[in-house]
């Protein structure tokens, strides 16, 4: 989140307020993994609950009633989903009951998405692919639809039989990273896998003696998802190998309260590709110095492009996938250098004037673009800051 509205409650001396603040922060932060942003109404309702003015059930009733009276418009933002799933996650995280089993995992999905997805609590019956920004558009190989149930059962049995006795904390964290990455990779549901996995994992960690109560998901949910992706992707031709190192850093912050920096751009595979190309060019520099120079310029450009995309991603993580697509299309057209106005956005994206104005307003508020003077009214450029 740009600014966590629950920060002040995490400094409270009252344990209930701290616990509620963490639960709500986690619940709302997790919506970012699907590009969703909860409403101000949800935020205000959450604060009332944290302050003890209403119960969690009353908060849920208020959210449900709010959308009963205001059917969501087809704007692609999925705010109703974000609000309802946020309060449901908070409820589950506030409960002590938990069973480490495939049924519990599936039941969490059902509780989170019932009435939102028709397939809530149901194992998918078709194969899926998903283009991943962190993989430059490639996809993780998810579990085969014909084997999902058996694969899920196997992973749970393996974890149940695993002994943590005598392991160092470093080895424990490495194993936990491996377990959660494998669980996520199965992707047994059509949608909502990351949020379900995160909630289940937090509950499981508590049974292992970890409090798992901090604001890491509130601020780094996208990093968590990208780390899961990197833990399940290998491309030998490109020199990219699956690794849990990013998940381990995330877990060290989460479980040991370390302060390691978590930046999505560090996970992007282009960093590996660029580094590999530089080594190759250095070997050839004596016989093709001019070509190496040109290639260096290309690598610098690609690195800059990757950095730009990661910055845009981090700033716009609460936008819908449609809005994020618009941002990338605009940047591909205008870059940092070109100044543009509403008419150019309308022409590029095929939007109505009012929709283009709303989009521009969102991007200005997110500091992705900024107004410029000296070129007439209503002119903008992408911000480098």
Single residue among 216, 243, 263 that ends a domain in this structure: 263
Do 42 and 163 sit in the same domain of this protein? no
- Per-residue pLDDT for the chain (385 aa), expressed as one digit of tens each? 555 665 555 444 454 788 889 999 999 999 988 888 899 999 999 999 999 999 999 999 999 999 998 765 545 568 999 999 999 999 999 999 999 999 999 999 999 999 999 999 999 999 999 999 899 899 999 999 999 999 999 999 999 999 999 999 999 999 999 999 999 999 999 999 999 999 999 999 999 999 877 678 888 999 999 999 999 999 999 899 999 999 999 999 999 999 999 999 899 998 754 444 434 344 444 434 444 443 444 444 444 455 556 656 565 555 676 788 788 788 888 888 889 999 999 989 988 888 888 899 888 877 788 888 888 888 998 887 6
Minimal CA–CA distance to 384: which of 312, 303, 306?
A: 312
Is 257 in the same domain as 127? yes
Residue 62 sits in the same domain as residue 125: no
The answer as to whether 293 is a domain residue is: no
The DSSP string of 164-216 is -TT--HHHHHHHHHHHHHHHHHH--SSS-HHHHHHHHHHHHHHHTT----SSH
Burial class (CB in 10 A: 0-12, 13-18, 19+), 326: buried
> Within a domain: residue 7?
yes
Separation CA 63–CA 247 (nearest Å): 33
Domain count, the chain: 3
pLDDT recorded at residue 78 = 87
Pair (1, 68) in one structural domain: yes
| Whole-structure pTM value | 0.72
Nearest to 122 by CA among 130, 114, 131: 114
Contact 41, 83 (CB under 8 A): yes
**Closest Cα partner for 199 from 84, 317, 104?**
104
Same domain for 259 and 188, yes or no, is: yes
Backbone angles phi, psi at 263, to 5 degrees: -120, 125
Within a domain: residue 272?
no
Residue matched to tokens 């590996």: 272
* Distances 6 to 10, 136, 194 between C-alpha atoms, Å: 7, 34, 23
- Domain boundary residue among 246, 263, 280? 263
Residues 50 and 157 reside in one and the same domain:
no
The residues that bridge with 346 in the sheet, in sequence order, are: none
Label residue 135 exposed, middle or buried (CB < 10 Å: 0-12, 13-18, 19+): buried
Alpha carbon of 10 to those of 15, 32, 54, 78, 203: distances in Å?
9, 21, 19, 28, 20
Q: 305 CB contacts (<8 Å, ≥6 apart)?
A: none
Domain contains 299: no
Last residue of a domain, one of 227, 246, 263: 263
Does 285 fall in a domain? Answer: no
**Judgement on whether residues 39 and 124 belong to the same structural domain of the protein:** no
Q: Per the structure block, which two tokens stand in for 207? A: 């049974």
Do 250 and 131 sit in the same domain of this protein?
yes
Same domain, 209 and 138: yes
DSSP helix/strand/coil, 104: helix
Domain with 77 in it: 1-95
The 3-state secondary structure of 283-352, one letter per residue: HHCCCCHHHHHHHHHHHHHHHHHHHHHHHHHHHCCCCCHHHHHHHHHHHHHHCCCCCEEHHHHHHHHCCC
Look at residues 216, 202, 215, 221 and name the one whose alpha carbon lies nearest to residue 95: 202
Q: Looking at residue 383, what is its pLDDT? A: 82
Q: Phi/psi class of residue 119: alpha, beta or left (left: φ > 0; alpha: ψ in -120 to 50)? A: alpha
The predicted structure's pLDDT at residue 334: 85
Selection from 148, 212, 136 nearest residue 182 by Cα:
148
pLDDT, residue 290, reads: 43
């Amino acid at each position: 989140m740009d600014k966590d509205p629950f920060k002040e409650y995490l400094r409270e001396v009252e344990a209930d307020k701290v616990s509620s603040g963490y639960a709500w922060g986690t619940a709302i932060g997790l919506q970012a993994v699907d590009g969703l942003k909860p409403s101000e109404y949800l935020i205000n309702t959450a604060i009332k609950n944290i302050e003890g003015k209403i119960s969690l059930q009353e908060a849920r009733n208020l959210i449900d009633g709010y959308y009963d009276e205001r059917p969501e418009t087809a704007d692609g933002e999925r705010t109703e989903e974000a609000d309802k799933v946020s309060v449901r996650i908070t409820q589950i995280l506030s409960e002590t009951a938990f069973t480490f089993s495939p049924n519990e995992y599936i039941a969490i999905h059902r509780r989170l998405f019932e009435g939102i997805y028709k397939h809530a609590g149901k194992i998918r019956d078709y194969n899926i692919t998903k283009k991943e920004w962190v993989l430059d558009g490639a996809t993780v190989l998810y579990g085969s639809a014909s084997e999902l149930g058996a694969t899920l059962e196997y992973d749970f049995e393996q974890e149940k039989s695993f002994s943590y006795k005598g392991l160092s904390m470093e080895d424990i964290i490495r194993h936990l990273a491996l377990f959660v990455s494998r669980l996520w990779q199965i992707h047994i549901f059509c949608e909502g896998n990351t949020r379900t996995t995160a909630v289940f994992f937090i509950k499981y960690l508590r049974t292992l003696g970890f409090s798992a109560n901090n604001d890491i998901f509130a601020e780094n949910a996208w990093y968590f998802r990208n780390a899961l992706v990197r833990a399940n992707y290998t491309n030998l031709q490109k020199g990219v190998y699956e690794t849990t190192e990013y998940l381990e850093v995330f877990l060290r912050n989460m479980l040991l309260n370390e302060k390691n920096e978590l930046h999505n751009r560090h996970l992007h595979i282009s960093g590996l590709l660029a580094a590999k190309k530089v080594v190759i060019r250095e070997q050839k520099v004596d016989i093709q110095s001019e070509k190496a120079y040109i290639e260096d310029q290309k690598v610098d450009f690609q690195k800059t492009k990757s950095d730009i995309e990661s910055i845009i991603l981090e700033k716009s993580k609460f936008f819908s996938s449609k809005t994020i697509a618009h941002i990338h299309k605009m940047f591909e057209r205008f870059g940092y250098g070109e100044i543009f106005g509403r008419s150019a956005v309308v022409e590029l994206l095929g939007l109505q004037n009012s929709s283009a104005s709303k989009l521009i307003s969102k991007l200005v508020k997110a500091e992705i673009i900024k107004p410029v003077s000296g070129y007439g009214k209503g002119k903008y450029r992408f911000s480098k800051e």
